[in-house]
Chains A and B, each alone.
Chain A
Amino acid sequence: MIELKNITKTYRVRKRSAGMKNAFKTFFKKDYEVIKALDDISFEINEGEMVGYIGPNGAGKSTTIKIMAGILTPDSGQANISGLIPWKQRTKYVKDIGVVFGNRSGLWWDVPVDDSFELLKNIYKIPDDVYKQQKTKLVKLLDIGEIIKIPTRQLSLGQRMRCEIASAFLHKPKIVFLDEPTIGLDAVSKIAVREFIKKINKEDKTTIILTTHDTQDIEALTNRIILIGKGKILLDGKLSDLKKKFSKKYLTVEFNGDIDQLCDGLIFIEKYKGRIIIELNENILTLAKAIAFLTSKIEILDLEVDNTSVDDIVVKLYQEYGI
């Protein structure tokens, strides 16, 4: 369905040191630095899949999205998305995709959102009945019935974002690229957006590619993640596998009594009088056995079990790959 092969893209960035003298120097000689935004990127995504595309700032996420959306032309490499080459057959290709850039607005600023939708209907040549049906559905799912009567400029960020997302799905695209769709949203809007994405992926079998810095987005939405750093794909796999690989449990125990020695599989992280934090290695010891061990030594007053969050996994991944 989506197939990228050896995609490479470089940018030329103009560089100069600060100050008058250096500024004048640029009249005679300009310094450029060539930055490899994407370096030999290849992956495949199947129909109906939902993929989280993650990486630190400047890793090349948006560049990949822009290439897949037909906006940028890569320096080299091939792509085949639904049988088309995005940047070569742009107008034909983009009919079946939807794009949301979280940090930009695709709606008309001064007119009610509904007018923007109407224009999109004409752009994509959506038949009346399909348009009506899809709009009703989107309006209901995203709860924007009243909002779409208001001009875009007067919407709050959360309201606008929901409208932006609706606008990307109006023409029932087969593939949707969401570039940080939850950026700057509050908890309620985030959850609404996630629920919506999940539902539409399930019901319409829409392929969704999502870039985000919000690890909760990843956890809530995607099974598969692709990690990119410095323009290279570092990891492509299931989130659950990653979790297993990096996951550790932490026990915070408040107790009466004394404990100096721990059994295999348990390590002290912090130790105070009456309170300890222990790391549990589940490959050696199960949680039940660990608790049984602790109960045999001390009188437990309170016990808390923490799992590694996806945040920690991402941080660990970044550390492991040195990005």
Chain B
Amino acid sequence: MRLYLAYFKIKFLNEIQYKVAALAGIATQFAWGFMYIMLFTTFINNSDTNAISSSQIVTYIWLQQAFYMLFAFWSVDKDIFDSISSGNLAYELTKPVNLYDIWFIKTLALKVGKTVLRALPIFLICMLPFLGEFTMTAPVSIMAAVWFVITMFFSTILILSYIMIIYILTITAISPLGVKITFSLMGDFFSGGLIPIPLMPDIVQTILKYTPFYYIQNIPYNIYNGYISGNLEIIKIVGIQVFWIVILIALGKLLMKNSMKKVVIQGG
């Protein structure tokens, strides 16, 4: 455990060095946030849908912008890809550590590090009342706040176990780009990163419920804004989150074991 903490610490400290990047990130997040809100509220106000209200969408978008780095599929540890393509992986293999666990912790630290710098300012500013219809609401109930925190945790673990598979698939590829782009685009779209899942056609929503993507950012944000409610319903969802986590981690570890047998580190 101390080892994981140490890895977390070094990566986290490394990440919060980039303060200018975080500031730029916040600015970008605001720009995208306003744009998305204007786009989606226009849709909602001009249609007869009553699936989700425009104030729920506003809150959803701001939460998404605040925790963008946590749930963006492209926000991964570049160092890991580099170590794979350059062969520096060799060094990690000479350490008495489990590579899967270390990559997991490193990516977690990276994502948390990037998020803490961005989330808080966005949260504070978006709660200000002068934003009018653009204001983010507080959680709909205390219970919703509690479930929000719990599902945020499981969603984070879930996206990490998905990203782990991206890393591992690149071990045997020459360039990580193809695998990375395919898997992160798929993830971003199907997890509601571009269009919130509640605004997708019913049939797509039904299908997505059978994939892990439905249970990542879609869950905590929509609990927070009250779109998903009911303790029993949420407990069921948490159960499915845990199910997918177990499946993806088991798959990742299995793939890791297989590709380690085939690993070739050439030169030097």
Contacts and interface: CB of A to CB of B under 8 A. Distances in A.
Interface stretch (A100-108, A132-140, A251-259): A100-108
Interface residues of A, number: 35
A91 B263 contact: no
Contacts of B14: 108, 110-111
A11 B268 contact: no
B263 A102 contact: no
Nearest to B87: A104
B2 interface: yes
A30 interface: no
B2 to A, nearest CB: 6
Contacts of B268: 62, 101-104, 179-180
B95 interface: yes
B6 interface: yes
A99 interface: yes
B90 A119 contact: no
B5 to A, nearest CB: 8
Nearest to A91: B96
B19 to A, nearest CB: 14
B210 interface: no
B178 interface: no
A73 interface: yes
B186 to A, nearest CB: 25
Interface in B70-98: 79, 86-88, 90-91, 93-98
A72 B95 contact: no
A108 B88 CA distance: 11
Interface in B1-53: 2-3, 5-7, 10, 13-14, 17
A220 interface: no
A101 B97 contact: no
B265 A95 contact: no
A223 to B, nearest CB: 26
B266 interface: yes
B6 A71 contact: no
B125 interface: no
Interface of B: 2-3, 5-7, 10, 13-14, 17, 79, 86-88, 90-91, 93-98, 261, 263-268
Task: Sort A-B residue pairs by CB-CB distance and give the 5 closest, nearest first.
Answer: A122-B6, A106-B91, A103-B268, A99-B94, A95-B96
